[in-house]
Structure 1
Amino acid sequence: MSIRLYVGNLPKEVERQELQDFFKDAGEMLSVKVITDRKTGKCRGFGFVTVKNDEQADRIIEAYNGNEFKDSQIKIEKALPRKKGKEGSEAPAASSSSGGGGKSSRRSNRSRSSSPSSDSGSAQPDPRWADELAKLKQMLATQTTNS
C-alpha cells in the first residue's frame, strides 16, 4: 500500500525534479509533486512524496524531517486523507501542524460557521468558551454597577 508524505516549508522557487533529486538516496519513490499557485506558477510552499510502504515512509521522515533544502528547513510527515474542498484543489493535509501559514484562516472559517438557531437568527458563541464568556459578562456587569 502506498503512503503519501506531506513535505512542507518548501521555498517558492522549486521544481519537481529538484525535490525528487533531494530524496534520491531515500530509495525508489512512486511520485513527487510540488503544489503550485495557479496564477503565478510558483510553489505554494508544500508538496507530496508518495512511497511504496509504511516502513519507507518512516525512514524518510526520520532521515529528512528538519533537513535544509534550498535554505529552508523542511517538514515531513504522513499526509492525512485528502478532503474535498470548494475548488477541488489539493490542500496541505498534514497530521499535525504548528504554524501552517494559510491553514489557520481555513480552520477559523470552519469554526465561525454556526448552525441556525430556532430561537433567533444571531450567531451563537463557541460552546468551548461559553463558561469563560459567562464569567466575563458577570465581571463586566459587576464593574458597571460599581462605577
Structure 2
Amino acid sequence: MNIFVGNLNYNLTEDDIRDIFEEYGELNSVKVISDKFTGRSKGFGFVEMANDDEAKKAIEELNGAEVEGRNMVVNESIEKKRDSRGGGGGSRGGNRGGGGFNRRENNFRSNY
C-alpha cells in the first residue's frame, strides 16, 4: 500500500521516515519529495509498505503524531488519474494555444 506522509519537518530525511515506519512492518520504499532547484524538502513524501494490514495500522497510529515539532498527516495515497478533458499545451510550433474556458457556456472549448 502506498501511503502519503505530509506536514513533515523540513529537516527529516528518508532514513528518519524509514525508522518511524519500520516499526509497523516491511517497507518497499520511502521517498521524501524535495525541490528540484534547492534540494530542500517540500515537507511531504510517500512510503510504500508490503502488507496492507501493517500499512493501515501505521496510518491509524501515525496520523496526527508529533514528530520534530509537527503533527504528521498520514493517509492512504490514492493515485490521481489523468483527466483527458480541458486545456493544455499548444502545438509544437507554438503558434496555437490549448483549450480555454468559455464563461458564457461554462465548458471547455478548443482554439483549433
Q: Which amino acid aligns with 2:15?
A: Q
Measured in 1, the distance between the counterparts of 2:75 and 2:31 equals: 15
Measured in 1, the distance between the counterparts of 2:9 and 2:34 equals: 11
Closer, same or farther: CA 124–13 of 1 in aligned 2, 3 Å: farther
Closer, same or farther: CA 39–64 of 1 in aligned 2, 3 Å: same
Q: Name the structure 1 match of 2:104.
A: 124
Deviations 1:20-69 (A, max 9, x none): 11223112111111000011111111100001132122111111111011
Helix, strand or coil for the counterpart of 1:19? helix
**Superposed CA RMSD:** 2.3
Measured in 2, the distance between the counterparts of 1:49 and 1:31 equals: 6
Query: Runs of at least 4 residues of structure 1 off by over 2 A?
Result: 123-127
Closer, same or farther: CA 124–43 of 1 in aligned 2, 3 Å: farther
Q: Name the structure 1 match of 2:48.
A: 50
What is the number of residues matched between the two proteins? 91
* Contact 2:26–2:51, Cα closer than 8 Å, also in 1: no
User: Which of 5, 8, 13 lines up with 2:6 in the alignment?
Assistant: 8
Measured in 2, the distance between the counterparts of 1:13 and 1:23 equals: 17
Deviations 1:79-113 (A, max 9, x none): 111456xxxxxxxxxxxxxxxxxxxxxxxxxxxx6
Structure having the higher helix fraction is 1
Identify unmatched segments of 5+ residues in structure 2. Answer: 83-99, 108-112
Helix, strand or coil for the counterpart of 1:21? helix
Closer, same or farther: CA 41–61 of 1 in aligned 2, 3 Å: same
Q: Name the structure 1 match of 2:72.
A: 74
Q: Name the structure 2 match of 1:37.
A: 35
Closer, same or farther: CA 46–124 of 1 in aligned 2, 3 Å: farther
Q: Taking structure 1 as the reference length, what is the TM-score of the superposition?
A: 0.55
Q: Which amino acid aligns with 1:11?
A: N
Structure having the higher strand fraction is 2
Q: Name the structure 2 match of 1:61.
A: 59
Q: Name the structure 2 match of 1:27.
A: 25
Closer, same or farther: CA 81–69 of 1 in aligned 2, 3 Å: same
